[in-house]
Structure 1
Amino acid sequence: MAGIKVAVLIGSLRQDSFNRRLARAVERLAPAEFSFEHVQIDHLPFYDQDFDHEYPAPCGTLKAQIKAADALLFVTPEYNRSIPGVLKNALDIASRPYGTNAFAGKPGAVMGASIGATGTALAQQHLRNVLAYLDVAVLAQPEVFVKFTDGLIDADGHIGVESTQKFLQGFVDKYVAWVKRFVAH
């Protein structure tokens, strides 16, 4: 089977992001045939419907990266019980104008990490609602709400807690099977 390209959208801009660490951990657990590209969303202008006639270069690049991917992975923190504005902005840019949705038909998954007890449950639910409208086939189970603690995952994605490693491996195994249902390579 040829390689499967996964576009990774991380909703956190923080340099030492827990969610970036979580994404790296998942990438380390995936089979070699899966490659992960972190899509930069921090430099995008705010979506404006005037773009629909002539997209700025960074917006066109974002759409091209999403279109070129076989699958999607969304890793989001929770800000004020929802997804960060930077992530919503990227979703709006890559799905517009009407009829040019770069996300449509792609398989994906949603996960997130937070220091809070409920992880990113509400943000993920909001994101799942948006992705349903954007025609992304989102893996339903297992849900991944990680309560981040010191030593859980280092900056390179090494997992320091065996039960977390086992749980995330189970998620990766389901995600890989999910993606392969949609991707014919």
Structure 2
Amino acid sequence: MPDLNLLGISGSLRRESSNTSVLHTLQDSMPAGIEMSVLTLHGIPPYDQDLEREGVPRTVQEFRSAIEGSDGVILCSPEYNCGMPGVLKNALDWASRPAFASPMTGKPVLIVTSSPAFTGGVRAQAQLREVLAGMLARVIVWPQVVIPGVYGKIEGGRLVDEASLKFLLDAVGAFAAEIAALPRYS
């Protein structure tokens, strides 16, 4: 398998975000040959087509470049009010431009959701799948990666639940294999 460069995007802005903690744990646990950088969505302004026409903001340009420069994206999102956070939807709206030629077009994506509830963010996961399909992203076909009861599984800014981490690493292994099977890696 070729070396892969993944981008982990946290859907939460909270300083002690469980989702950012999950991504940092994953970053430290990646198998050999896989690197991952972690990105938060701080500084990305609300999507505004007028603003886009006047000149795409630097933070958005950097966000798009990070996506474009990666072999695949791992989205790690909380669930707010039965859906994905607005900050993540907003960032995906910016990343969806220009239509049919955005950095998300054809980009392999693994979705991870977490929640303090026992459902683990499945409704946010469903919304993300729908939005990513509309962006022509390539969402991995794998059992939904959800982390229920997440607050009890994070200590010191790291995911400490072994079962959750193992399931997540299995998903990353399948994700890496799917990326490696794409024509540009074969």
Instruction: Give your verdict on TM over 0.5.
Output: yes
Q: CA deviation at 1:46?
A: 0.6
Q: Which residue of 1 aligns with 2:42?
A: 42
Q: CA deviation at 1:62?
A: 1.2
Amino acid in the other structure paired with 1:40: T
Show the 5 A alignment for 1:9-158.
9-53=9-53, 54-149=55-150, 152-157=153-158
Structure 2 Cα separation of the partners of residues 169 and 24 of structure 1 = 13
**Does the CA contact (< 8 Å) of 2:179 and 2:185 recur in 1?**
no
Q: Which residue of 1 aligns with 2:175?
A: 175
Is 1:4 the counterpart of 2:1 in the alignment? no
Provide the TM-score with structure 1 as the length reference: 0.88
Aligned-residue CA RMSD (Å): 2.0
1:100-155 superposed Cα distances (whole Å, 9 cap, x missing partner): 41111111100111110111000010001000111111112121111135552434
Structure 1 Cα separation of the partners of residues 91 and 57 of structure 2 = 13
Amino acid in the other structure paired with 1:27: Q
Change over 3 Å in CA distance of 1:51–1:158 after alignment to 2:
same
Structure 1 Cα separation of the partners of residues 109 and 150 of structure 2 = 26
Change over 3 Å in CA distance of 1:99–1:172 after alignment to 2:
closer
Structure 2 Cα separation of the partners of residues 105 and 99 of structure 1 = 9
Change over 3 Å in CA distance of 1:166–1:58 after alignment to 2:
closer
Consecutive unaligned residues in structure 1, runs of 5 or more? none
**Does the CA contact (< 8 Å) of 1:76 and 1:111 recur in 2?**
yes
Change over 3 Å in CA distance of 1:143–1:97 after alignment to 2:
same
Consecutive unaligned residues in structure 2, runs of 5 or more? none
Q: Name whichever of 68-77 and 7-16 sits farther off.
A: 7-16
Q: Greater relative contact order (Cα 8 A, min sep 6): structure 1 or 2?
A: 1
1:60-88 superposed Cα distances (whole Å, 9 cap, x missing partner): 11111111111110000000111111111
**Does the CA contact (< 8 Å) of 2:100 and 2:136 recur in 1?**
no
Structure 1 Cα separation of the partners of residues 148 and 14 of structure 2 = 17
**Does the CA contact (< 8 Å) of 2:13 and 2:40 recur in 1?**
no
The secondary structure found in structure 2 opposite 1:76 is strand
